[in-house]
Amino acid sequence: MLSLRGLTKRRGARTVVDRLTLDVRPGEVTGFLGPNGAGKSSTMRMVLGLDHPTAGTARVNGRDCRELDCPVREIGALLDAGAVHPGRRARDHLLAMARAGGVAKHRVDAVLARVGLADVGAKRAGEFSLGMRQRLGIAGALLGEPETLMLDEPVNGLDPDGVRWVRDLVRSLADEGRTVFVSSHLMSEVQLVADRVVLLGQGRLIADAPTSEVVGSAAGTVVVVRSPDTELLARRVEAAGSEHGVSVGRGDAGELRVSGAAPETVGDIAHAAGARIHALYGEEASLEQAYMELTESVTEHTASPPAPSGQASGQEGGR
């Protein structure tokens, strides 16, 4: 179990992590989310004792990680898949970790097999793809059979099969009763696997709740309508829903996107108006939608919208 109490990290005048208090529980997959610069990596580094907090505490099974008798047996971590000497063979890398952590040598072959690298253990890390290095990093995290796993962007560089493998792995680890703390920018994957979501913004806790609750906080169902009579239908829907907060927008493909009305209501309006319907369906709220709404005011790096067609930024035509 991970317990953070008032965890704070300042670098100069900037507060990177601001009085963070939360518990990451065993038997659950907890997704750790937030925009770039939100303080996720700094939090993980403080848990592992790699950074010193300015204030507050981070505990692994009730103790500071630096005070653990054998840290590799209590918490396994993947922070940087590239943190392996490129000239070292994969199996030798894990053997060195095992010796340093007092882990039995047979665990090396066991974890290589579990992550799908049993056949390439003699290859040097520098010959590995990014996805293979991710698997090697996960093997290192599993080496001491720890009760707590902390994985930072574990699906980065993996192909679809690899992404599904990580999803199944973290789910199985939690089902074994382990504490699993996973940072990722792939909202769809987090929604599929996480029991709980912790969301940071500018170092502060924005949400700490079951995934279903966070998703439920997003705006309701959007009704998507494809029709050759979009202008007629848009006018009728707006007129019918003007007193009930119904709004009508356009999607990238020209489809109508109706908020504030049920699919059945939109279908009835279309029928009454004589509008032809080629497709009509409800698009449920997602974790990505909830994430965008919750972090809208705390995203530090926001790109400008694309220039209108035919205009290039900073350039005029007709040279």
Composition of the chain by helix, strand, coil, percent to 5: 35, 25, 40
Q: Find out whether 275 and 233 touch, Cβ atoms under 8 Å.
A: yes
Counting every residue, how long is the chain?
319
Q: DSSP code of 66?
A: G
| Cα 271 → chain centroid | 42
Provide the mean pLDDT of the chain. Answer: 90
Q: Is the pLDDT of residue 272 over 70?
A: yes
The CA-based dihedral angle spanning residues 212, 214, 217, 221, taken in that order and rounded to the nearest 10 degrees = -50
As a whole number of angstroms, the distance between CA 33 and CA 294 comes to: 11
As a whole number of angstroms, the distance between CA 255 and CA 292 comes to: 22
pLDDT band for position 282 (cuts 50, 70, 90) = confident
Looking at residue 18, its pLDDT comes to 97
Which sequence spans correspond to the domains of the chain? 2-211, 222-295
Architecture of domain 2-211: 3-Layer(aba) Sandwich (3.40)
**Residue carrying the six token digits 């356009």:** 250
pLDDT band for position 168 (cuts 50, 70, 90) = very high
As a whole number of angstroms, the distance between CA 195 and CA 304 comes to: 34
Q: Is the pLDDT of residue 300 over 70?
A: no
Q: Is the pLDDT of residue 160 over 70?
A: yes
31: left (phi over 0), alpha (psi -120 to 50) or beta: beta
- Beta bridge partners, 168, equal none
pLDDT band for position 317 (cuts 50, 70, 90) = very low
List Cβ neighbours of 54 (8 Å cut-off, separation of 6 or more).
8, 9, 10
As a whole number of angstroms, the distance between CA 48 and CA 169 comes to: 22
Q: Is the pLDDT of residue 281 over 80?
A: yes
Mean pLDDT in residue range 30-59: 96
Looking at residue 316, its pLDDT comes to 43
> Helix (H, G, I), strand (E, B), or coil: what is residue 179?
strand
CA angle 71, 75, 78 (to 5 degrees): 115
Q: Find out whether 140 and 94 touch, Cβ atoms under 8 Å.
A: yes
Determine which helix (DSSP H) or strand (DSSP E) holds 75, and give its type and residue range. Answer: strand 75-78
Q: Find out whether 267 and 223 touch, Cβ atoms under 8 Å.
A: no
In this predicted model, which residue has the larger pLDDT, 309 or 231? 231
Looking at residue 138, its pLDDT comes to 96
pLDDT digit string (tens) for 203-259?
Answer: 999 999 999 999 877 767 789 999 999 999 999 998 887 766 788 888 888 899 998
Sign of CA dihedral 11, 17, 18, 19: negative
Mean pLDDT in residue range 48-63: 96
Q: Is the pLDDT of residue 50 over 60?
A: yes
Q: Is the pLDDT of residue 136 over 70?
A: yes
pLDDT band for position 289 (cuts 50, 70, 90) = confident
Q: Is the pLDDT of residue 310 over 70?
A: no
- Point out the least confidently predicted range of 51-60, 188-197, 212-221, 230-239: 212-221
Q: Is the pLDDT of residue 124 over 90?
A: yes
| Cα 225 → chain centroid | 30
Q: DSSP code of 44?
A: H
Looking at residue 220, its pLDDT comes to 72
Looking at residue 299, its pLDDT comes to 65
CATH of domain 222-295: 3.30.70
**Residue carrying the six token digits 């790109």:** 303
- Point out the least confidently predicted range of 122-131, 140-149, 175-184, 282-291: 282-291
- Beta bridge partners, 209, equal 197
Looking at residue 319, its pLDDT comes to 41
Q: Which two tokens stand for residue 4?
A: 């953070």
pLDDT digit string (tens) for 7-22?
Answer: 999 999 999 999 999 9
What global pTM score does this model have?
Answer: 0.79
**148-152 and 75-78 beta bridge pairing:** parallel
Residue 24, number of CB atoms within 10 A of its CB = 22
